[in-house]
Amino acid sequence: MSTAVIRTWRTVRSSRAATIGLAIVAVHVVVALLAPLLTSYAPTVGDSSLALLGPGADHWAGTDQYGRDVLTRVLYGGRYALGVSAAATLLTVALGTVLGCAAALRGGRLDDALMRVLDAVLSVPSILALLVIVTALGSGPWVIVLAIAVVYVPQVTRVVRGAALAVVPADYVTAARARGEGIWPILRREVLPNITDVVCVEFAMRASWVVLLISSLSFLGFGANPPTPDWGLMVAENRTAITVVPMAGLAPIIALATLVVGLNLAADGLSKAWGVDRIREGS
């Protein structure tokens, strides 16, 4: 296990894009964790006499219409975005990997039926599916994690299945089958180690889309509930006053864009270092 970790670390170090990308993401994680130490304001409490101030010495990014410090809300906003995205991406990639490997290993009827159902799920626009699920089950963070998984598992499954299909005909898999090993041990010991690169790239890439989707959902008013500090929600709230305090709208935009650029750089760098065709996998 430790050799695998060292090898991964070397790959990351060898790619400048991946290093920069992961560094940006790491900064976002640290800032979100240390938010209470970095600011003395509370993210959800405002002073209405100080509403819509421009950037100044007390409020570096100005205040919103309720007099809340925008920078504080941006710092805390990373917690919701990163927490929900990380949970959603983990669940999505884990489910997709298991389904994709199972489809590739079993083949035949199960494979056909699974792919057909996933195709049908893909044909419904993801925003509509998300809206229906969130309306049905409420907009708690766990519901959003679940909804994202429903929407994105089909695509992950397809990618992983494609990668696993290249491994399944290999002699060592046939040998494992001949030894009479079950589907789980084969999956864990023979198939998974050989598609780790694809799964890792898929994880980074999927994470960038999940962050975008979650922020869009919040922007539309179906994600984080006010007064939760969340970037998508903040853009929606501060958009109306964008001519008065442009910084209040721009700050969450910058935070969101840098996080996603970081994730995209990491995905690009890793895919290049491992030779995974990311752009084609993404289609």
Partner 1 sequence: MFTFIARRVVSALGTLLLSSVLVFLAVQALPGDVATQVLGKDATPSAVAALREKLSLDQPAWERYTEWVKGAVHGDFGASLVSGKAVGGEVGQYLGNSLLIALVTVLFAVTGSLVLGIVAGLYRDRWPDHLISTASLVGMSVPEFVVATVLVLAFSVALPLFPAVVLYGPGATTGQLLPAVWLPAASLAIVMAAYIVRMARTSVIDVMASEYVTTARLKGLSSWRVVTRHALPSALLPTLHVIALNVAWLIGGVAVVENVFNYPGIGKLMLSSVQNRDLPVIQAIALISAVVYVLCNLAADLGAMALNPKLRTRGGRAR
Helix (H) or strand (E) holding 180, with range, is none
Q: Which stretch binds partner 1 (CB under 8 A): 6-14, 44-52, 69-77, 116-124?
A: 116-124
Residue 170 makes contact with partner 1 by CB under 8 A: no
134 is written with which tokens?
A: 């969130």
Where do we find the tokens 């976002």?
28
Q: Which lies closer to partner 1 via its Cβ, residue 103 or residue 186?
A: 103
Nearest-10 crossing angle of helices 141-167, 126-137: 140
Q: Which of residues 252-281 bind partner 1 (CB under 8 A)?
A: 253, 256-257, 260-261, 263-265, 268, 277, 279-280
Indicate whether 23 belongs to the interface with partner 1 (CB under 8 A). Answer: no
What totals of helices (H) and strands (E) does the chain contain, helices first? 13, 0
CA angle 189, 190, 195 (to 5 degrees): 105
DSSP state of 193: G
Should residue 136 be labelled a site residue for partner 1 when binding is judged by CB under 8 A? Answer: yes
Of 141 and 282, the one with the shorter C-beta distance to partner 1 is 282
Question: Whole-number minimum distance, CB 186 to partner 1, in Å?
Answer: 24
Number of chain positions touching partner 1 (CB under 8 A) = 46
19 binds partner 1 (CB under 8 A): no
CB-based burial, 170-201: b 16+ in 10 Å, e otherwise? eeebeebeeeebeeeebbeebbbebbebbbbb
Binding site for partner 1 (CB under 8 A): 116-117, 119-129, 131-133, 135-136, 208, 212, 215-216, 219-220, 232, 235-236, 239, 242-243, 246, 249, 253, 256-257, 260-261, 263-265, 268, 277, 279-280, 282-283
